[in-house]
Every structure is written in structure tokens, then in C-alpha cells.
A and B are shown apart, each in its own frame.
Chain A
């Protein structure tokens, strides 16, 4: 066989082998994600302390309680950003959700630790979430197409999107309620 052809085949094989070993944990770091969401003007992190009713909603959306007392979020104006973990098949997937005016502005897979189902981090999947809101039944306002072989990862992403929308509504409600309290009684603490 021609030497040149052999070299080309060897190079192609090496390239193929290299690309096949995809890290199961490719991710975007928190700072980069927040910078992207807030155009580099990242607000300070705030803590949302969970209530019993939040656990009930989590049971309804995710099928399990949140197992935490607080979660962090970042908010500025009408925008809020949530970074939540949810188990795919066996390991947690870290998902960042940007909410604007109680609709999803973007959804990003920040860390993926399973050996399959990583396709959910591709734009063709995550772009489905843009513009969705939460219905009264705590469901997304539109259907999300499944990916064959990644059902559990898709479900994790859908659940996180719904929870982020729920929390966004909660902090909006809490802010409005608190503002009204201050209006009625200016001595109300922040």
C-alpha cells in the first residue's frame, strides 16, 4: 500500500480514537456561566431558605424531596439564575437555568457525570427550553422531545427546569410580599 495512504489512514485512526474518549465531566464553570447570564455584571449570591411547601412541590415535580435547607441563586432585575443538581441514572447532573420574567431564557448543562446521556448538553436539546414557563400543574408549558438512550438525563433536565421556574416565582412573590409589608410598615426589617 502506498506510504502516503498508510500515513493518512494512521492519522485518521488516531483522530478517531482521540475523539472517542470523551470526558464524562466536561462542564462550564460557575463563574463563566454567571458571567454569560449577567453580561459580566454578576450580582452577589443570595440564599433561598426552603419551606415545607417547597418540599411538597419538589416531591410533585421531581419525585423526591430537596434534601437541603437552602439553595443559592443570583438575581438582578427580572432575571434570576439557578444552579441545581439532579440525579440522572446514578450520578448527579449539574444544570444552570436562567429565568427572565418567569420564563426560561437559557438552560445549560454545567457538569455531566454519567457514562451515557451526555447528548442533553447539546444546543439542539437545551434550546427547547427557551421561552417555556410553568403551568398551574407545575409542568413546563410545552413538551420537551426525548433523546433515545438518554431518557433519565432528559427527565432530570426537565425536572430542574420546572423547579427553577417554581423558585423564580417564589422569590418574585416573596419580593412583592416583602415590598408591600415595608409599604405598610416601614420598620419591617429587610
Chain B
């Protein structure tokens, strides 16, 4: 007579069924996105772009609803998606939020959360400083020196032009940090039309597969799904082995 199922075995079956039922759809999703990613180049998914306006806005592209910017000399600097503009001319790109702009001597300094563009007055790029000690939220200029601050840590940094880096600072006077200001109506009518779609199918699949599409929470959930898959596989294998063993015990010898 085969042994009665142990308590552990019964619990394992129960957990296996429940995990399988709860996560079945996500397992299928994982597998499908995984296969598509594996063949993304063969099926041109790494070059085909998605032209869904809501998705492009979600990724920060194609935004044509910019309303504010920062005055610079007699013009304005604003951000359209990742592109930076001085009036109608494109200055360059930065992947963080635009936090301010200033002219010091004959150079323009356009600061984003983690990048500083230095240009001539005609927009010609002189240099780009990309290594920030932390993300910045605000920019100020005092006595021809650039200052930036991280709102969360409240730390203030001073830009050292000689070394091309931000150094922690304790300013003597209160700094007047820049605030984005409403762009003049005339400029609003001249803003370039929405940037073309740049999200490829491969990018979307990668972000879906990893959970990163939904930020940190999405990554945690993707980890949970992976753990559930591991559990289901191991528990399923264990149950199969157990059943085989029980079947072998049931069969009389010689059959």
C-alpha cells in the first residue's frame, strides 16, 4: 500500500496549484516577450518604432505641450522631450529635467538634472559636463558662479570652471534659485512640432519583460513572477517524481 500523502506533499500541491493559477497569465507573458526579445533583430523589432502618442509621452518623447522655460539673454531656453531649445534652435539633448540657464561672460550654461551644456552665444556647443555628484533640482547664479541644489539632500554645489566639476559649497548669501517661467505667447506658436516616435518595439518588450516599464514596483513584481516560476517548476518536478515513485510501489513486482 502506498504511503498516505504527507502533510508537506498536500501543502505543496495546494501551493503549486494556487501559484500556477495566479501567475499563469504572467508566465505566458514572460515567455512571449522573451521569445520576441530573442528574435528582435531577426524580426526588425529593434528598428521598428511605435507611433502611439500616449506611449511616447510616457517615455518623454513627442511632448509638444511645453509651456515654460528659462530666460537667457534676450531669448528663452526650454525642453521638448529630451531636446533642448534656445528659441527655435536646437541646442542639444539632455535626459534629465531642465533646471535652469545662465550666461556667464560670453558663454551660456544650460543645466539639466544630471548634465550641463556649455555653449557659445550662437548655440555652438563648447563642452558637455555629464558626471554630477548627485541629481540636481535647482540652479542659481551668484557673482558669476553657478550653484545647483538637490532638493532631497539640500546639498548645494558650486561649479568649478577650472576643473569642470561640481564641488560641495556653502554659499555666503542666500541663493535665488531659478524658477521656470511661462514662455511668451509669440514663442509658443513657433515651438517645433512634436518629436518623431523613438520607442522601438524591442525597447518596449525589454521594459515589459523586466518590469521596468512600471518603475521600481514593476521590477519587484517581475522578480516575484520569476520566483513563482522557479517554485512552480521545482514543485511540479517534485510532485512528478513522487507520483512516479508511488506508481512504482503500487505495481506488483514483475509487471
Give A39 to B210 CA distance when docked, in angstroms. Answer: 40
Q: A29-B131, A68-B126 are in contact. List 15 more A-B contacts (CB 8 A).
A: A16-B223, A21-B219, A31-B165, A45-B163, A67-B128, A69-B120, A70-B127, A83-B131, A85-B128, A92-B95, A94-B130, A111-B130, A111-B131, A116-B206, A116-B210
In angstroms, how far is the closest chain A Cβ from the Cβ of B9?
Answer: 12
By a CB distance below 8 angstroms, the chain A residues around B210 are 115-116
Write the A172-187 contact mask toward B (1 if CB under 8 angstroms, else 0): 0000000000000000
Q: Which of A1-58 contact B (CB under 8 A)?
A: 1, 13, 16-17, 20-21, 27, 29-31, 44-45
Tell me the total A-B contact number using a CB cutoff of 8 A.
63
Q: B179 at interface (Cβ–Cβ under 8 A)?
A: no
Give A68 to B164 CA distance when docked, in angstroms. Answer: 14
Give A29 to B157 CA distance when docked, in angstroms. Answer: 14
User: Could you tell me how many residues of chain B have their Cβ less than 8 Å away from some Cβ of chain A?
Assistant: 29
Q: Which of B77-122 contact A (CB under 8 A)?
A: 92, 95, 120
Q: A113 at interface (Cβ–Cβ under 8 A)?
A: yes
Q: B182 at interface (Cβ–Cβ under 8 A)?
A: no
User: Is A1 within 8 A of B128, CB to CB?
Assistant: no
Q: A91 at interface (Cβ–Cβ under 8 A)?
A: yes
Q: A170 at interface (Cβ–Cβ under 8 A)?
A: no
Q: B25 at interface (Cβ–Cβ under 8 A)?
A: no
Name the contact of A69 in the complex, choosing from B124, B216, B223, B224 (C-beta under 8 A).
B124
User: Is A20 within 8 A of B219, CB to CB?
Assistant: yes
Judged by DSSP, the binding face of A is: mixed
User: Is B131 within 8 A of A110, CB to CB?
Assistant: yes
User: Could you tell me how many residues of chain A have their Cβ less than 8 Å away from some Cβ of chain B?
Assistant: 29
By a CB distance below 8 angstroms, the chain B residues around A111 are 130-131
Name the contact of A115 in the complex, choosing from B124, B131, B212 (C-beta under 8 A).
B212
Interface centre among B11, B120, B133 (most CB of A within 10 A): B133
By a CB distance below 8 angstroms, the chain B residues around A70 are 126-127
Write the A56-83 contact mask toward B (1 if CB under 8 angstroms, else 0): 0000000000011111100000000001
Q: A16-B223, A110-B131, A116-B206 are in contact. Are A69 and B95 (CB under 8 A)?
A: no
In angstroms, how far is the closest chain B Cβ from the Cβ of A15?
Answer: 11
Q: A45-B163, A115-B210 are in contact. Are A68 and B128 (CB under 8 A)?
A: yes
Give A60 to B167 CA distance when docked, in angstroms. Answer: 36
By a CB distance below 8 angstroms, the chain B residues around A116 are 206, 210
By a CB distance below 8 angstroms, the chain B residues around A91 are 95
User: Is A68 within 8 A of B206, CB to CB?
Assistant: no
Q: Which of A160-176 contact B (CB under 8 A)?
A: none
Between-chain CB contacts (< 8 Å), 20 pairs = A20-B220, A21-B216, A21-B220, A30-B165, A45-B164, A67-B92, A67-B128, A68-B126, A68-B127, A68-B128, A69-B125, A69-B126, A69-B127, A70-B126, A70-B127, A83-B131, A85-B128, A91-B95, A111-B130, A111-B131
